[in-house]
């Protein structure tokens, strides 16, 4: 009987679901479904809204609370003065409260009874803090949490929580798989697309407080007068939402747009040029965040062109923006084709510069030593530059994780890195503590995510890409949240709070990162993708313009075995870690399987922890990756009828592509590595349906994002 009722109920639910295109992200604000008791109690607790203040930020608070509550509670909630059961939002100053929220961005949400009347109060030291509190309050309702007897204090653990857009001025997004850039430079500054506002809302809702608008492979034109007007227009839109704009600066800009003969950072005219440029920018954008710089990396100009160091370059810019409160984010993503191991380059170049950067410089380090691979050991720079605030760079756009078509929830990857122990100051010197500044008492701290946003209707192309954007913001705010908590929140807001739906989608999401590792680069393989576009597997590739772009440089497969010896008998990259970390990886018999081929060249017969030979383990892992994707597909199929047909079908089709491509990766890699191992595929392995030659002849000249 109960079952039939439930079935009937869910059938009704299907009819209630209507077209969804993903545009509203996790801010859908649909009526609380399927839980009338909860709806009634919410309606009782909030019968009016009162906003203290009329600034653009307080207007944003008002609009969001009205939009959110009217939608979620499916009733008109008036904005009016004191009555019982009122939601009040305002700064502590405006409310004259004794309760103390923490910090400039933290907030406090409390339920209070004053003179017998019930209030829910959202307050903070600043208006931006109130906005964050408002979004948090809406999230409570969106995820069906109680809103009575609240006493919630929250403040961000990391100061700079940024998106890095790799967007070019012609709107092509480098490594972008979700359409073209959302910044329409041609129609700016006069035309303000609604999307800019929705972008600001989405970011503010997860605490992101800065956006680098243009590609790190920068074009100096962005620093010219007309473009700065356009940047200023965007800054005006984002400002009420607590978001500052930053720009990627091209180091040679003084030559390209300033017509100087040099960009030498120690040259006085060059320094003055940057100082004048900074002044010009701050006149237009008083709260401009600062510059992000990729220098002397992959052909970009930089201080080394003039025999100067990264610190010389960063400090020159830091000096220019310092009078205005600006900061410089200098990237540590550098590598040299001459070096015997790309892994070691950033550490070698940057550790000697520790202590040499000005106070307003952060060094931004990619999570791993190579390049956003499905799994990397952490970059040895973390914990190795105590005097310099290090900023984390994660990649939301899935350049190496299946690009626009694979469902990969990245929070487990982010957490794995943040939770890793550097042992820099003894045990429990986690990367999270390096990044949030607590390990070395830095006041500047930051996390950046390379954006996965484009102008596709649902922003990220793959609907589940939204979860990675969401996770970045939430973890930058509070890195102690678990991947599972974040997934639960996101699913509740994006799809449904029905426990069965949440559980299934969560299982899919939480399995997806390990799946991509397994079907692409198990056991510590890395960088074996196609050259240039980085789409699909090409482990045989050996003709790139530089050896360190070639897969063969990384896997080093030969008749004896496979893997990169980075121990003392090899390049000794391991030396860059603290002894306690080194110890984890140094011995091929005790090194965990996940990192084995990152650090060891081991024989095909090598005995793995499972008891299998390395070759059999490799086959096993590739197969496991494919099997996990099948399981993800199967789980998704069971959600039919519980999710609106539009989004259901979209994800269903993408999962089919992911499955096909997982098989492609498995077949290609195993057929190729078999030419070295000479060993047969084990019995449980599905035989490839094509030859290696067939796969080698495939070309993808128009693969996106290159
Ligand atoms: C690599 C990308 C390249 C970026 C570079 C970077 O392939 O497009 O420019 O990283 O981070 O992964 O600078």
**Is the pLDDT confidence value at 266 over 90?**
yes
The 10s digit of each residue's pLDDT in 440-455 is 999 999 999 999 999 9
The backbone torsions φ and ψ at residue 430, rounded to the nearest 5 degrees and listed phi first, read: -70, 160
- Residue 276: which of 327, 225, 350 has the closest Cα? 225
What pLDDT is attached to residue 598?
A: 98
Pairwise CA distance, residues 34 & 15, whole Å: 13
Q: Mean pLDDT across the stretch 126-151?
A: 98
Q: Which CATH superfamily is domain 160-490 in?
A: Glycosidases (3.20.20.80)
Lowest mean pLDDT among 98-102, 329-333, 468-472, 523-527: 98-102
The residue contributing the CA closest to ligand 1 atom 11 is 333
Structure tokens at 167: 């967007």
150 in Cβ contact with 109 (< 8 Å): yes
Q: Using an 8 Å Cβ cutoff, are 365 and 499 in contact?
A: no
Adjacency order of strands within the sheet including 48-51: 48-51, 86-91, 117-124, 107-114, 151-154
Chain centroid offset of residue 612 CA: 36
Q: Which residues approach ligand 1 with their CB closer than 6 A?
A: 174-175, 216-217, 294, 298, 333, 371-372, 399
DSSP 629: H
Distance of CA 232 to the CA centre of its chain: 25
Express as a percent the part of the chain with pLDDT over 90. Answer: 93
- Specify the pLDDT at position 35: 84
Q: Which of 21, 298, 637, 686 is catalytic?
A: 298
Residue 385 has pLDDT above 80, yes or no: yes
Beta strand spans in 7-85 (E): 48-51
pLDDT of residue 83: 75
Mean local confidence (pLDDT), 544-564: 96
pLDDT of residue 15: 44
- The fold of 26-154 is Chitobiase; domain 2 (3.30.379)
Tokens of 360: 């307003």
- Most informative mutation of 331, 399, 530 for ligand 1 (most atoms within 8 A of CB): 399
SS3 letters across 536-605: CECCCCCCCCCHHHCHHHHHCCCCCEECCCCCCCCCCHHHHCCHHHHHHHCCCCCCCHHHHHHHCCEECC
List the one residue out of 525, 413, 432 whose CA is nearest residue 476. Answer: 432
pLDDT at 144 over 50: yes
297-302: list long-range contacts, CB under 8 Å, 24+ apart. 297/331, 297/333, 297/334, 297/335, 298/217, 300/216, 300/217, 300/218, 300/250, 300/251, 301/250, 301/251, 301/252, 301/263, 302/251
Look-up of token digits 């519980």: 642
Taking the CA atoms of residue 160, residue 163, residue 164 and residue 170 in that order, the dihedral angle to the nearest 10 degrees is -140
Q: Which residues belong to CATH 3.30.379.10 in the chain?
A: 26-154
CA dist 604 and 622 (Å) reads 15
Answer yes or no: CATH 3.30.420.40 is held by domain 517-564+601-696.
no
Residues 151, 127: Cα–Cα separation, whole Å: 19
Given the DSSP bridges, would you call strands 602-603 and 210-212 parallel, antiparallel or unpaired?
A: unpaired
66 is catalytic: no
Within its chain, how far is the Cα of 497 from the centroid?
24
Burial 622-637 (b: 16+ CB within 10 A, else e): bbbbbbbbeebbebbe
CATH 3.20.20.80 in the chain: give the residue spans. 160-490
Position 9 scores a pLDDT of 46
Cα 579 to Cα 564, 591, 686: the distances in Å are 20, 14, 42
Does 637 qualify as catalytic in the annotation? no
pLDDT at position 12 is 46
* Active-site residue identified among 64, 399, 416, 548: 399
- Give yes or no: 693 in active site: no
CA end-to-end span of the chain: 57
Phi-psi region of 135 (alpha: psi -120 to 50; beta: other; left: phi over 0): alpha
Find residue 446's DSSP bridge partners.
Answer: 160
**Structure tokens, 321:** 């923006």
Q: Over the stretch 81-125, which tens digit does the pLDDT of each residue have?
A: 667 899 999 999 999 888 888 899 999 999 999 889 999 999 999
Is 651's pLDDT higher than 90?
Answer: yes
Report whether 435 contacts 480 (CB < 8 A): no
- Mean pLDDT, the chain, whole residue set: 96
Alpha-carbon gap, residue 534 to 532, rounded angstroms: 5
Whether the CB-CB separation of 632 and 464 falls below 8 Å is answered with: no
Which residue owns the Cα nearest ligand 1 atom 12?
371
pLDDT of residue 80: 76
Q: Which of 371, 393, 565, 661 is catalytic?
A: 371
Place of tokens 């069906």: 144
Mean pLDDT, residues 62-69: 98
pLDDT in tens, 161-204: 999 999 999 999 999 999 999 999 999 999 999 999 999 999 99
- The residue among 5 and 378 whose pLDDT is bigger is 378
At 82 the pLDDT is 65
Q: What integer is the mean pLDDT of 282-289?
A: 98
For CATH 3.90.1330.10, the residue range(s) in the chain are: 517-564+601-696
pLDDT for residue 549 is more than 60: yes
Question: Of 74-88, 500-514, 679-693, which gets the smallest average pLDDT?
Answer: 74-88
The ligand 1 atom at the shortest distance from the C-alpha of residue 300 is 13
Q: What is the 3-state secondary structure (H, E, C) of 138-183?
A: HHHHHCCCCCCCCEEEECCCCCEEEEECCECCCCCECCCCCCCCCC
Instruction: Give the model's pLDDT for residue 238.
Output: 98
Q: For residues 270 and 258, what is the distance between their CA atoms, to the nearest angstrom?
A: 9
Q: Which residues contact 497 (CB under 8 A, 6 or more apart)?
A: 35, 143, 144
Mean pLDDT to the nearest integer, 396-403: 98
């Amino acid at each position: 009987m109960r079952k039939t009722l439930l079935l009937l109920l869910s059938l009704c639910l299907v009819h209630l679901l209507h077209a969804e295109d993903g545009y509203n992200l996790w801010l859908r604000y649909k009526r609380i479904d399927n839980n009338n008791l909860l709806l009634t109690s919410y309606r009782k607790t909030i019968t009016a809204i009162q906003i203290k203040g009329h600034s653009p930020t307080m207007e944003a608070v008002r609009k969001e609370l009205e939009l959110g509550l009217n939608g979620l509670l499916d009733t008109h909630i008036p904005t009016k003065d004191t009555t019982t059961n009122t939601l009040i939002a305002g700064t502590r100053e405006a409310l004259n409260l004794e309760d103390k929220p923490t910090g400039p961005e933290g907030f406090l949400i409390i339920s209070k009874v004053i003179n017998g009347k019930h209030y829910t109060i959202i307050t903070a030291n600043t208006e931006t803090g109130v906005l964050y509190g408002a979004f948090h309050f809406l999230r409570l309702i969106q995820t069906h949490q109680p809103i009575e007897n609240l006493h919630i204090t929250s403040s961000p653990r990391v100061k700079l929580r940024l998106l890095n857009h790799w967007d070019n001025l012609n709107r092509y997004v480098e490594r972008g798989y979700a359409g073209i850039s959302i910044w329409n430079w041609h129609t700016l500054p006069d035309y303000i697309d609604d999307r800019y506002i929705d972008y600001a809302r989405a970011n503010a809702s997860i605490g992101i407080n800065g956006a680098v608008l243009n590609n790190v492979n920068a074009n100096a034109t962005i620093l010219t007068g007309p473009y700065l007007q356009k940047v200023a227009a965007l800054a005006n839109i984002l400002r009420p939402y607590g978001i500052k704009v930053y720009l990627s600066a091209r180091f040679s800009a003084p030559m390209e747009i300033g017509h100087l003969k040099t960009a030498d950072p120690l040259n006085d005219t060059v320094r003055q040029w940057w100082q004048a440029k900074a002044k010009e920018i701050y006149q237009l954008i008083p709260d401009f965040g600062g510059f992000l710089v990729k220098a002397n990396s992959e052909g970009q100009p930089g201080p080394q062109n003039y025999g100067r160091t990264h610190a010389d370059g960063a400090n020159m810019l830091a000096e220019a923006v310092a009078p205005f409160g600006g900061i410089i984010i200098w990237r540590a993503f550098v590598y040299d084709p001459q070096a015997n191991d790309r892994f070691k380059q950033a550490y070698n170049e940057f550790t000697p510069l520790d202590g040499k950067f000005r106070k307003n410089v952060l060094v931004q380090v990619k999570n791993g030593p190579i390049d956003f691979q499905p799994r990397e050991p952490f970059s040895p720079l973390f914990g190795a530059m105590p005097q310099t605030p290090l900023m984390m760079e994660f990649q939301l756009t899935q350049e190496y994780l299946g690009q626009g078509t694979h469902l990969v929830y990245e929070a487990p990857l982010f957490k794995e890195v943040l939770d890793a122990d550097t042992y820099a100051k003894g045990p429990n010197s986690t990367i999270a503590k390096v990044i949030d500044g607590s390990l070395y008492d830095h006041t500047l701290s930051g996390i950046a995510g390379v954006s996965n946003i484009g102008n596709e209707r649902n922003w990220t192309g793959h609907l589940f890409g939204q979860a990675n954007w969401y996770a970045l913001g939430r973890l930058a705010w509070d890195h102690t949240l678990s991947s599972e908590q974040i997934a639960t929140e996101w699913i509740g807001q994006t799809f449904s709070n029905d426990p069965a739906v949440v559980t299934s989608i969560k299982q899919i999401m939480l399995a997806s990162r390990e799946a991509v590792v397994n079907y692409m680069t198990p056991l510590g393989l890395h960088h074996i993708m196609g050259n240039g576009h980085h789409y699909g597997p090409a482990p045989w590739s050996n003709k790139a313009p530089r050896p360190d772009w070639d897969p063969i440089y990384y896997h080093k497969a030969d008749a004896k075995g496979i893997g990169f010896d980075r121990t003392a008998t090899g390049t000794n990259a391991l030396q860059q870690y603290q002894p306690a970390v080194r110890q984890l990886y140094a011995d091929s018999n005790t090194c965990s399987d996940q990192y084995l081929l990152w650090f060891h060249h081991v024989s095909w017969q090598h005995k793995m922890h499972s008891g299998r030979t390395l070759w059999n383990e490799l086959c096993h892992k590739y197969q496991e990756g494919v099997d996990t994707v099948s399981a993800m597909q199967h789980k998704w199929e069971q959600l039919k009828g519980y999710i609106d047909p539009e989004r259901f079908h979209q994800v269903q089709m993408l999962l089919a592509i992911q499955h096909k491509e997982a098989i492609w990766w498995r077949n290609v890699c195993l057929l190729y590595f078999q030419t070295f191992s000479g060993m047969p595929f084990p019995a449980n392995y599905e035989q490839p349906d094509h030859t290696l030659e067939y796969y080698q002849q495939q070309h993808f000249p128009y693969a996106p994002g290159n």
